[in-house]
Amino acid sequence: MKILIFSDENLSINSPLNFELAFVKTIEELLEKLNTFKDFVFSIIKIGNNSKKVVSILNKYNIPFLALYNNKEFEDANWYLKNGAKSIITHDFYNDFNLDLIKNYLKNNENNDYKLLYEFTKILRLNLDIENIILQLEKFIKNSFNVDTLFIIKEKYYYRKKVFNSKNEAILSNHYKLNFLNKFNEENYYTPINFEKEKALLLPIINKNDIIGKVLLFRQKILSPKELELLNIILSQFAVVCKNYFLLENSKNHYYNIVKALIKAIEAKDKYTKGHTSRVAKLSKEIALILNLPKNHVETIEMAAFLHDVGKIGIRDSVLLKPGKLSNEEYEEIKKHPEFGFEIIKDIEGMDKIAEIIKYHHERWDGKGYPEGLKGYHTPLEARIIAIADCYDAMTTARPYRKALSHEIALKEIKKYSGSQFDPILSNLFIKNEKIFKKIILEFN
């Protein structure tokens, strides 16, 4: 690692162990060194004619520094403390004092780096979808490096202050048009580009030579080599998370499509239940949205609702398609379909939560449901949501043994069984927003 020394006179300084000293005397030499070598971790400035300009340059490149002065320059030395100097010391005491100061500063910085990376790993351990991970990562980078970010993952844009209008412009502190991204490509990685009043830097998000995406960083000060190193470590770990997330999503989608085909096969047997799962999924999603649940939670509920009857594939056709009233024995067989559905879904990677929801969608608030007789809040919220949507759709759909009930009668039934069959809070919410659900059924019909 290198320490940069700026002085208009020759200085005799012993090099600290493991550090290489680079001496410059002019602004031109300083800029040449900074643009040629990116690994300066510290700088020492001898206060002189151009030293204030040097401070401005070092701050721009985000390189920490200390200032050397003699007694005649003491009043002027206070300016350096106000402008970022880690310390000001007299040249006479330099050799006795500064080596420990530099070592301690770098050691403290290293400890802070470990703390920073530890805090980042805590974000990665959160069970979040990719958009929420990016949101947390953006906040983390902003707080840690004072950098605004634009993440580009699979051609989707994520910005900390993001608002996009119809012209595909990102509305930030100024109106930054997305076409400015044309300035950035693989050749521009790690090269600062002037953008408005800030520097913009493009970094790749790489996992084993596979570019998952890229991130644009915006800041007035250039990132220091140490900051860049830390950001690359963070982004490489984030790339692994992205890769695993996309692999899991692809796997889930693959199996989801297979199970959807099973659902269609079930519905094809019975014209009376055709479209039931799609309607229940739509109704359940709407309830989740009214509850203002997180996006990934809403998606889980929608998927579970679509698959809630997949276990009926294990029920005999003579029972499943029977037009009349079921016998006690036949009803007991029908009651097995939530557990059959659980067994079908539970071993699909990433769908264990959905399997659990499917298993419990016939539980009741009073504990008289099946398969386990769970009571009240012991039944997962997602299953309680689907229970209302499922019953509402069943009531408003024609069956071989009865006509479809009207929307109004179905609402009365939900109100009647609120607190016994249904979660009372969800029942009230459903009734309060009944126009939304009526519209959904009318659209499907």
Residues 169 and 280 in one domain: no
User: Sorting pLDDT into bands at 50, 70 and 90, what band is 221?
Assistant: confident
User: Sorting pLDDT into bands at 50, 70 and 90, what band is 184?
Assistant: low
Q: Is the pLDDT assigned to residue 158 strictly greater than 60?
A: no
Q: Is residue 115 part of a domain?
A: no
Q: Is residue 145 part of a domain?
A: yes
Residues 284 and 432 in one domain: yes
What digits encode the pLDDT tens for the residues 42-66?
677 777 777 788 888 887 777 777 7
Q: What is the pLDDT at residue 174?
A: 38
Domain that holds residue 413: 270-444
Residues 134 and 91 in one domain: no
Name 67's bridge partners: 45, 88
344-348, 371-375, 377-381: segment of lowest average pLDDT: 344-348
Residues 351 and 409 in one domain: yes
Percentage of residues in the chain with pLDDT exceeding 90?
A: 30
Residues 297 and 427 in one domain: yes
Q: What is the pLDDT at residue 149?
A: 76
Q: Is the pLDDT assigned to residue 254 strictly greater than 60?
A: yes
Q: What is the pLDDT at residue 414?
A: 97
Residues 88 and 181 in one domain: no
Residues 226 and 306 in one domain: no
Distance, in Å, from the CA atom of 395 to the CA atom of 272, rounded to the nearest integer, reads 12
Nearest to 236 by CA among 228, 226, 247: 228
Residues 149 and 44 in one domain: no
Residues 326 and 432 in one domain: yes
Query: How many domains is the chain built from?
Result: 3
Residues 295 and 167 in one domain: no
Q: Is the pLDDT assigned to residue 285 strictly greater than 70?
A: yes
Residues 377 and 412 in one domain: yes
What digits encode the pLDDT tens for the residues 295-332?
889 989 999 999 999 999 899 989 888 888 889 999 99
CATH number at residue 34: 3.40.50.2300
Predicted TM-score (pTM) of the model is 0.57
Give the 3-state DSSP-derived string for the chain, with helices as H, strands as E and coil as C: CEEEEECCCCCCCCCCCCCEEEEECCHHHHHHHHHHCCCEEEEEEECCCCHHHHHHHHHHCCCCEEEEECHHHHHHHHHHHHCCCCCEEEHHHHHHHHHHHHHHHHHHHHHHHHHHHHHHHHHHCCCCCHHHHHHHHHHHHHHHHCCEEEEEECCEEEECCCCECCCCEEECCCEEEHHHHHHCCHHHECCCEEECCEEEEEEEEEECCEEEEEEEEEECCCCCHHHHHHHHHHHHHHHHHHHHHHHHHHHHHHHHHHHHHHHHHHHHHCCCCCCHHHHHHHHHHHHHHHCCCCHHHHHHHHHHHHHCCHHHHHCCHHHHCCCCCCCHHHHHHHCCHHHHHHHHHCCCCCCHHHHHHHHCCCCCCCCCCCCCCCCHHHCCHHHHHHHHHHHHHHHCCCECCECCCCHHHHHHHHHHCECCCECHHHHHHHHHCHHHHHHHHHHHC
Residues 389 and 417 in one domain: yes
Q: What is the pLDDT at residue 187?
A: 58
Mean pLDDT of 117-139: 72
CATH number at residue 291: 1.10.3210.10
User: Sorting pLDDT into bands at 50, 70 and 90, what band is 437?
Assistant: very high
CATH number at residue 186: 3.30.450.40
Asked which of 109, 135, 166 is the last residue of a domain, the reply is: 109
What digits encode the pLDDT tens for the residues 109-127?
655 655 666 666 766 666 6
Asked which of 79, 109, 139 is the last residue of a domain, the reply is: 109
